[in-house]
Chain A
């Protein structure tokens, strides 16, 4: 099975940077995903890492270290609309995802 840990809450100021960490212990690994979920809505895909290193996509970046079982999602130039829950998910070899509980990010003016 999978054990995925991420902080439950983070607060940051508009325009700032926030880093959400995710650690995992898995019996099989076939990639790590980050999803964004606004309150009352469905999760939407943000990023995917399968090799070590940094993937950058606009204001959002995601990093993976497979040897350390560690990933982070970096949100830059925070905007009010970034207030949401961010879900870390690990995929096993059978295309099944296991999710962390999610990190609720609150952006303050």
Chain B
């Protein structure tokens, strides 16, 4: 059982390029989330999806887009990367029911030059 996986593990990207971070879970969780983690700022929610076919904006959505075509996949796209998007990105999933915790993927370290 893989749980939740992310790809790539790390990436160096030129500013202005388009990039999609992949996230897949095999736990049949309804809810999925994307966070970025920056030193001194903690984890901040970018976008979320409570169920397949729906998405919502988190605390820092600008410059990012997501889609949720099915239960398992929740890709995060940077349409035109900027250096301030250099961060560690974590995908997470949750059954969505009250009391259930979120399970985190291993993270993607992204550097935008």
Chain A positions near chain B (C-beta within 8 angstroms): 1, 30-31, 33, 41-45, 48, 50, 87, 89, 94-102
Q: Decide if A95 touches B42 in the complex (CB within 8 Å).
A: no
Q: Is the interface of A mostly helix, strand, loop or mixed?
A: loop
Known: A99-B35, A100-B42. 5 other contacts (CB 8 A): A31-B99, A87-B42, A95-B50, A99-B42, A101-B42
Known: A48-B99, A94-B50, A95-B96. A42 touches B105 (CB 8 A): yes
Q: List chain A residues, Cβ under 8 A from B43.
A: 43, 87, 89, 97, 99
A88, chain B: closest CB distance, angstroms = 9
B44 to chain A, nearest CB (A): 8
> A97 and B102 in contact (CB under 8 A), knowing A42-B90, A43-B90?
yes
How many residues of B are in contact with the other chain, CB < 8 A? 26
Among B41, B50, B101, B104, the one with the most A-chain Cβ atoms within 10 Å of its Cβ is B101
Task: Kindly state the separation between the CA atoms of A95 and B56 in the bound complex, as whole angstroms.
Answer: 12
Assembly CA distance A101 to B38 (angstroms): 9
Q: Are A95 and B104 in contact (CB under 8 A)?
A: no
Residues of B within 8 A of A (CB): 31, 33, 35, 40-45, 48, 50, 56, 58-59, 90, 94, 96, 98-99, 101-107
Please, could you name 13 A-B residue pairs with CB atoms under 8 Å apart, sorted by A? A1-B59, A31-B98, A42-B105, A42-B107, A43-B90, A48-B99, A95-B94, A96-B48, A97-B43, A97-B102, A98-B45, A98-B59, A99-B42
Cβ–Cβ contact A48 & B42, under 8 A: no
Whether A43 pairs with B104 at a CB distance below 8 angstroms is yes
Distance in Å: Cβ of B57 to nearest Cβ of chain A: 10
